[in-house]
Structure 1
Amino acid sequence: MGLKKVEDRPTPSAVYNLCVASSLASTAACPILIGYDSAFFGTSVALTSFKNEFGADNVASNSAWLVSCYQLGALAGSLLALPCAFYFGRRWGLLASALVFTLGAGIMLAADGERGFAPIYAGRVIAGLGIGAASNLTPLYISEIAPPAIRGQLVGMYEIGWQIGGLIGFWINYGVSEQLAVSHKQWLIPFAVQLIPGGLFAIGIPFFIKESPRWLISRGRRDEAIKNLCYLRKLEYNDPYLVQEVNDIDLQVENDRTAVGPGFFAPIRHLFSRGYLFRRMLTTAGLFCLQNGTGINAINYYSPTIFRSIGVTGGNTSLFTTGLFGVVKTVASLIWAFLLIDHLGRTKLLMIGSAGCSVSMFIVGGYIAIGKPQNKTTSSLDSGGVAAIFFLYLWTTFYAITWNGTPWVVNAEAFPGSVRQVTQCLAASSNWLWNFAIARATPTMFEQMGAGGYGVYIFFACFTVMSIPYVFFLLPETKNVPLEEMDRLFLDPHPWSANKRVLAALRRERADRADPNNKEELLFDPHASAQQKTQPRQDFVEDV
Structure 2
Amino acid sequence: MSETKQNHLIALTSSSSSTEAKVTIPPKSKFKWRVVDDHSPKEIYNFTLYFSVVIFGLFCGLSRGLDEGQSINLYQPSFRNLFGLNDPNKTEHEIADLKSNINSMVQMGSIAGAIIAMYVVDKIGRVLALREFCIIWATGAIIQMTSKSLGQLYAGRFIEGLAIGQSTTIGPSYMAEVAPPLRRGLFGCMFSGAVYMGILLSYAANYGTAKNISGTSNTQWMIPISLKVILATLAFIGSFFCHESPRWLFKHGHDEKAMINLCKIRHLSPDHPYILSEVSDISEQIATERAATEGVSIFNKFKDLVTVKSIRYRFFVIGCLSQILGQWSGANSITIYAGDLFSFIGLKGLEVMKMTMILGVVKLCGAYFGAFFVIDFLGRRRALYIGITLQLVSLLYFAIFLQVDPHAIEKGAILSTSQENAGKAAMAAIYLSGVGWVLGFNSIQYLLGSEIFPLKHRSFCQSLIMVLHFANQYGNSKAVPSMLIGLKKYGTFYFFVGVCVCSLLWCWFFVPEVTGRSLESMEDVFNLPWYLIGRRGAELCPDHSALNRIMHSDEIEGGLDDIEKSHQHYIEDAGVSRDDSSEEKVNNKP
Whether the TM-score (by the shorter chain) exceeds 0.5 is: yes
Q: Tell me the SS of whatever aligns to 1:304.
A: helix
**2:104–2:478: 8 Å Cα contact kept in structure 1?**
yes
Indicate which of 532, 542, 550 corresponds to 1:503. 542
For 2:550 and 2:44, the matched residues in 1 are separated by 22
**Match in the other structure for 1:300:** 335
What aligned pairs does 1:430-509 form with structure 2 within 5 A after superposition?
430-450=468-488, 453-493=489-529, 494=532, 495-503=534-542
> Which range is displaced more, 97-106 or 495-504?
495-504
**1:271–1:419: 8 Å Cα contact kept in structure 2?**
no
**Match in the other structure for 2:373:** 339
Cα separation, partners in 2 of 1:230 and 1:524, compared to 1, 3 Å: farther
For 2:569 and 2:331, the matched residues in 1 are separated by 56
**Match in the other structure for 2:229:** 195
Cα separation, partners in 2 of 1:449 and 1:516, compared to 1, 3 Å: farther
> Which range is displaced more, 420-429 or 237-246?
420-429
Q: Deviations over 1:231-272 (max 9, x none)?
A: 000000000010100111100100111222235525444333
Indicate which of 137, 142, 158 corresponds to 1:106. 142
Which of the pair has the greater relative contact order for Cα pairs under 8 Å at 6+ separation?
A: 2
**Match in the other structure for 2:122:** 86
**1:479–1:499: 8 Å Cα contact kept in structure 2?**
no
For 2:547 and 2:457, the matched residues in 1 are separated by 28
**Match in the other structure for 2:442:** 404
**Match in the other structure for 2:322:** 287
Deviation at 1:506, TM superposition (A): 6.2
For 2:155 and 2:221, the matched residues in 1 are separated by 18
Runs (4+) off by over 4 Å:
504-509, 515-522
Counterpart of 2:435 in structure 1: which amino acid?
Answer: T
Q: Tell me the SS of whatever aligns to 1:188.
A: helix
**2:104–2:474: 8 Å Cα contact kept in structure 1?**
yes
Deviation at 1:199, TM superposition (A): 1.5
- Which structure's residues are more often helix, by fraction? 1
Of structures 1 and 2, the larger Rg is shown by: 2
For 2:66 and 2:511, the matched residues in 1 are separated by 31
Cα separation, partners in 2 of 1:511 and 1:12, compared to 1, 3 Å: closer
**Match in the other structure for 2:45:** 16
Q: Tell me the SS of whatever aligns to 2:517.
A: coil
**Match in the other structure for 2:283:** 250
1:34 aligns with 2:64: yes
Q: Tell me the SS of whatever aligns to 1:209.
A: coil
> Which range is displaced more, 415-424 or 324-333?
415-424
Q: How much identity, in percent, do the aligned residues show?
A: 27
**1:6–1:342: 8 Å Cα contact kept in structure 2?**
no
**Match in the other structure for 2:309:** 275
Q: Tell me the SS of whatever aligns to 2:204.
A: helix
* Structure 2 spans left out of the alignment, 5+ residues: 1-31, 552-566, 579-585
Q: Tell me the SS of whatever aligns to 2:541.
A: helix
Q: Deviations over 1:333-376 (max 9, x none)?
A: 11100000101011111122222211111111111111112347
What aligned pairs does 1:411-426 form with structure 2 within 5 A after superposition?
411-426=449-464
**1:6–1:480: 8 Å Cα contact kept in structure 2?**
no
For 1:92 and 1:455, the matched residues in 2 are separated by 46
For 2:136 and 2:39, the matched residues in 1 are separated by 42
**2:63–2:198: 8 Å Cα contact kept in structure 1?**
yes
Q: Alpha carbon RMSD of aligned pairs, Å? A: 2.7
**Match in the other structure for 1:51:** 80
Cα separation, partners in 2 of 1:25 and 1:371, compared to 1, 3 Å: same
For 2:246 and 2:48, the matched residues in 1 are separated by 14
Q: Tell me the SS of whatever aligns to 1:210.
A: coil
Deviation at 1:392, TM superposition (A): 1.6
For 1:440 and 1:202, the matched residues in 2 are separated by 32
**2:318–2:510: 8 Å Cα contact kept in structure 1?**
no
What aligned pairs does 1:210-249 form with structure 2 within 5 A after superposition?
210-249=243-282
Deviation at 1:504, TM superposition (A): 6.8
**2:189–2:368: 8 Å Cα contact kept in structure 1?**
no
Counterpart of 1:277 in structure 2: which amino acid?
Answer: I
For 1:230 and 1:63, the matched residues in 2 are separated by 50
1:321 aligns with 2:360: no
Cα separation, partners in 2 of 1:505 and 1:236, compared to 1, 3 Å: closer
**1:288–1:407: 8 Å Cα contact kept in structure 2?**
yes
What aligned pairs does 1:159-178 form with structure 2 within 5 A after superposition?
159-178=192-211
